[in-house]
Chain A
């Protein structure tokens, strides 16, 4: 895994970027934090934030010309936040006595500050705090310069005098009535280590650096109106502070220019979208200062601008309360350590790899790609916990074993006379009767593993439909596309699977695959781009639906697009058109089509973190008041188990009598296996007329109460596991016995998992009391 590239991706994420207000505050008051404290009613904490960032906050807080407000994004939704009014209210209600600071020994150097306007005072105080000896030159007999022009309703003479007196109290030496001109300036330059020039009426031309405010190569630095070229109080204070920083760097002989691109005002990459923000009017003050309540109300209007687009859409990012920026740093950390803690594993296995974050991010940051790469790397480094994906991978192995896997060409014309022909009279568009076969397999119907597991009764019908409608022979191929291996980061297994599919494709002389599952479509696009594919749903739309006369009561549905089809707008349209042609009305959800969400199954999250999967389900199903229409069986399964009425498109195309498709509970994990085997056997028997072995009957007759059955689902325990445990126990009597209840308790280790079954025997029936498992291996000696 290329970690430098990874970090680069993470650093592009602007989650931590400041809002426009802070970026346009020349001294960068942390406005969101400041306003949030006010909102909480904590004026004291808000005050501390002002104290921290604003030089002479009691003065500036009252007279600041607030460049932050004109850029506040609230401007477009009711009017800018009155940041300066909020500052005034904080000075009113949150002011605290200044902390006592111990004077620092002045040993670092001697600096002259010329002019005691706001910029000069700021430079003097900042440098004094840093341990420099300061001498302040003021041409008049009082400090403050043009600050005195601001006396008025806000800034009272008394406040200004008190604040200025504090400068004197600090022990900064002040030389009143000392006018500095060009001549005396050169004396200062030789007498002092550095000189700050903040005289607003300086006329002699100076060559001032725009970033460092250094004059030429001299030990002279300028600030105030000379550099700001305006009357702004806050720009003036900021220039004094920036010059002070330059002086400090100059005297410590470090680079003056390093990382200074964000001083003063700068452009933040954050572009807050307020198109969906409610318009709220400014809170008008009833007196000269906001009351506390008014301030709190005004604070509430602040949007607290921050890029959270991806997090707004993703239950996973919100559950872990993590931005892609921090997520990627966390992954980087886990990847770089060889030994030690890998505490991000569970989180990494809780992303559905649905791709919504990338769709939402204007910088195109894709956690899906990051997570996929990370999982592959974890597998390679042997850091992937087996338990996360074990069950899904076993399920995949099952589907590719002889118990399900099957490849057949379409039966010949002779062999299939009574199969695909019958009279043309029909109430539907399903016109059978014409043999389109050519003897060459033009199409291979590949229903995937989940559709046959959930809709075993419909596979044959779909196949017959395809044979009846497609030009050329239609073969069938049962198996698993490998999506579980892909999601689990198992590139080894994926490679094998892709090779196996390709082999069949070659042997069949490169037919077009007809796919019905959105995961298959995604996997084929990613790993088998050379194979031409068509979606079953597109074919239904093109050739007409088989059972048009079946339409039940029309209603309004919301389509939940499968996340694997995010970029497949053609398919998404087909689904809608099919539903509409069946008489249903579609109402789109906010997150749909290319912005669809994942049901919670994607990325195998359903197996790796059930709680996270449940989070996705719960969030999604409350996004529409209508029944939901899906076209992926796992989406249906999860939504129905979450309690939402959900149709699969097949429920509409092949409705069953006396059955409400929207609440149909999907088969259990064991039944999914059985259904797949059943599909294979019945296709072989009924279409290819082949003799098939009947399934081996179960060894034992089990009686399983509903609660135990549910536990088996939640614990990923199959009936065949239970059978195996009992068989082993019965045969070698390796089991425990409870004389009080008459129960037995037995265990058996199958691959990585030890299964336990507690049961009672009644004649030839086995009553199952409880079933559980663990992965920790007990070394019995």
Chain B
């Protein structure tokens, strides 16, 4: 999973007023747990997921794990 630059470039963390950065984040679904590079706030670490990621790659992985 990855995010396109133009998808996120203008978003910032509202709480910390920081620009987002890519870093490794742990994600979990069913019996699968893995690390992916996702945008998040360098301070509070809240993770950014936009629509195309949620309904694209993420859904694909979810469905893959479900149907296995």
A residues touching B (Cβ–Cβ < 8 Å)? Answer: 340-343, 345-346, 385, 387-388, 732-741, 744-745, 747, 754, 756, 758, 770, 772-781
User: Which chain B residues border A745 with CB–CB below 8 Å?
Assistant: 11, 48, 50
Q: Are B29 and A341 in contact (CB under 8 A)?
A: no
User: Which chain B residues border A385 with CB–CB below 8 Å?
Assistant: 30, 66-67
From A343, A732, A737, A779, B28 is in contact (CB under 8 Å) with: A779
Q: Are B68 and A772 in contact (CB under 8 A)?
A: no
CB nearest neighbor in A for B54: A774
Q: Are A778 and B27 in contact (CB under 8 A)?
A: yes
Q: Are A774 and B58 in contact (CB under 8 A)?
A: yes
Beyond A738-B11, A780-B47, 6 additional pairs, beta carbon < 8 A: A346-B66, A733-B14, A734-B14, A747-B49, A754-B49, A779-B26
CB nearest neighbor in A for B8: A736
Q: Are B68 and A345 in contact (CB under 8 A)?
A: yes
- A383: shortest Cβ distance to chain B, in Å? 9
Q: Are A343 and B68 in contact (CB under 8 A)?
A: yes
User: Which chain B residues border A776 with CB–CB below 8 Å?
Assistant: 27-29, 58, 61-62
CB nearest neighbor in B for A743: B11
Given A738-B10, A776-B29, A346 and B49 contact (CB-CB distance below 8 Å): no
The proximity string for B residues 51-67 relative to A, scoring 1 for CB distances below 8 Å and 0 otherwise, is 10011001101110011
Q: Are A770 and B51 in contact (CB under 8 A)?
A: yes
- Is B12 part of the binding interface, using a Cβ–Cβ cutoff of 8 Å? yes
- Is B13 part of the binding interface, using a Cβ–Cβ cutoff of 8 Å? yes
- Is B43 part of the binding interface, using a Cβ–Cβ cutoff of 8 Å? no
Pick 25 A–B contacts, CB within 8 A, sort by A: A341-B68, A343-B67, A343-B68, A346-B67, A733-B14, A734-B14, A734-B15, A734-B44, A735-B14, A736-B13, A738-B10, A740-B10, A745-B48, A756-B54, A758-B51, A770-B51, A774-B49, A774-B55, A776-B61, A777-B29, A778-B25, A778-B26, A778-B38, A779-B25, A780-B46
- B20: shortest Cβ distance to chain A, in Å? 8
The answer for the CA separation of A131 and B67 in the assembled complex, in Å, is 49
Q: Are B11 and A737 in contact (CB under 8 A)?
A: yes
The answer for the CA separation of A345 and B62 in the assembled complex, in Å, is 13
Q: Are B48 and A736 in contact (CB under 8 A)?
A: yes
User: Which chain A residues border B29 with CB–CB below 8 Å?
Assistant: 775-777
The answer for the CA separation of A744 and B11 in the assembled complex, in Å, is 9
User: Secondary structure of the B side of the interface?
Assistant: mixed
The answer for the CA separation of A343 and B68 in the assembled complex, in Å, is 6
The answer for the CA separation of A758 and B26 in the assembled complex, in Å, is 24
User: Which chain B residues border A754 with CB–CB below 8 Å?
Assistant: 49
The answer for the CA separation of A772 and B59 in the assembled complex, in Å, is 11
User: Which chain B residues border A772 with CB–CB below 8 Å?
Assistant: 51, 54-55
CB nearest neighbor in B for A781: B45
The answer for the CA separation of A747 and B30 in the assembled complex, in Å, is 20
User: Which chain B residues border A734 with CB–CB below 8 Å?
Assistant: 14-15, 44, 46
The answer for the CA separation of A62 and B63 in the assembled complex, in Å, is 57
CB nearest neighbor in A for B26: A779
Residue from B15, B20, B49 with most neighbouring chain A CB atoms (10 Å)? B49
CB nearest neighbor in B for A346: B67
Would you list which residues of chain B between 13 and 37 have a CB under 8 Å from chain A?
Answer: 13-15, 20, 25-30, 33
Q: Are A741 and B10 in contact (CB under 8 A)?
A: yes
User: Secondary structure of the A side of the interface?
Assistant: mixed
Q: Are B12 and A781 in contact (CB under 8 A)?
A: no
The answer for the CA separation of A776 and B46 in the assembled complex, in Å, is 15
User: Which chain A residues border B12 with CB–CB below 8 Å?
Assistant: 736-739
Q: Are A342 and B46 in contact (CB under 8 A)?
A: no
From A346, A735, A770, B15 is in contact (CB under 8 Å) with: A735
The answer for the CA separation of A758 and B13 in the assembled complex, in Å, is 14
Q: Which 7 pairs show the lowest CB-CB distances between chains A and B?
A: A385-B66, A737-B14, A779-B26, A774-B54, A776-B29, A777-B28, A740-B10
From B15, B20, B25, B62, A774 is in contact (CB under 8 Å) with: B62
Q: Are B49 and A756 in contact (CB under 8 A)?
A: yes
- A655: shortest Cβ distance to chain B, in Å? 41
User: Which chain A residues border B30 with CB–CB below 8 Å?
Assistant: 385
Given A735-B15, A739-B10, A781 and B26 contact (CB-CB distance below 8 Å): yes
From A340, A342, A736, A775, B62 is in contact (CB under 8 Å) with: A775
The answer for the CA separation of A732 and B50 in the assembled complex, in Å, is 20
CB nearest neighbor in A for B51: A772
User: Which chain B residues border A741 with CB–CB below 8 Å?
Assistant: 10
Q: Are B11 and A736 in contact (CB under 8 A)?
A: yes
User: Which chain B residues border A779 with CB–CB below 8 Å?
Assistant: 25-28, 33
Given A735-B14, A736-B48, A776-B28, A342 and B59 contact (CB-CB distance below 8 Å): no
The answer for the CA separation of A308 and B4 in the assembled complex, in Å, is 48
- A757: shortest Cβ distance to chain B, in Å? 11
Q: Are A345 and B49 in contact (CB under 8 A)?
A: no
- A606: shortest Cβ distance to chain B, in Å? 17
User: Which chain A residues border B50 with CB–CB below 8 Å?
Assistant: 745
CB nearest neighbor in A for B46: A734
From A343, A388, A732, A778, B49 is in contact (CB under 8 Å) with: A778
- A704: shortest Cβ distance to chain B, in Å? 16
User: Which chain A residues border B54 with CB–CB below 8 Å?
Assistant: 756, 772-774
CB nearest neighbor in B for A777: B28
CB nearest neighbor in A for B14: A737
- A546: shortest Cβ distance to chain B, in Å? 47
- B63: shortest Cβ distance to chain A, in Å? 8
User: Which chain A residues border B20 with CB–CB below 8 Å?
Assistant: 736
The answer for the CA separation of A738 and B14 in the assembled complex, in Å, is 9
Q: Are B59 and A774 in contact (CB under 8 A)?
A: yes
The answer for the CA separation of A732 and B14 in the assembled complex, in Å, is 10
Q: Are B28 and A342 in contact (CB under 8 A)?
A: no
User: Which chain A residues border B14 with CB–CB below 8 Å?
Assistant: 733-737, 744
Q: Are A733 and B15 in contact (CB under 8 A)?
A: yes
- A772: shortest Cβ distance to chain B, in Å? 5
- A163: shortest Cβ distance to chain B, in Å? 55
CB nearest neighbor in A for B41: A736
The answer for the CA separation of A739 and B19 in the assembled complex, in Å, is 11
Q: Are A387 and B62 in contact (CB under 8 A)?
A: yes
CB nearest neighbor in B for A388: B66
User: Which chain A residues border B45 with CB–CB below 8 Å?
Assistant: 780-781
The answer for the CA separation of A241 and B20 in the assembled complex, in Å, is 78
Q: Are B26 and A342 in contact (CB under 8 A)?
A: no
- A139: shortest Cβ distance to chain B, in Å? 68
CB nearest neighbor in A for B47: A778
- A344: shortest Cβ distance to chain B, in Å? 8
User: Which chain B residues border A733 with CB–CB below 8 Å?
Assistant: 14-15
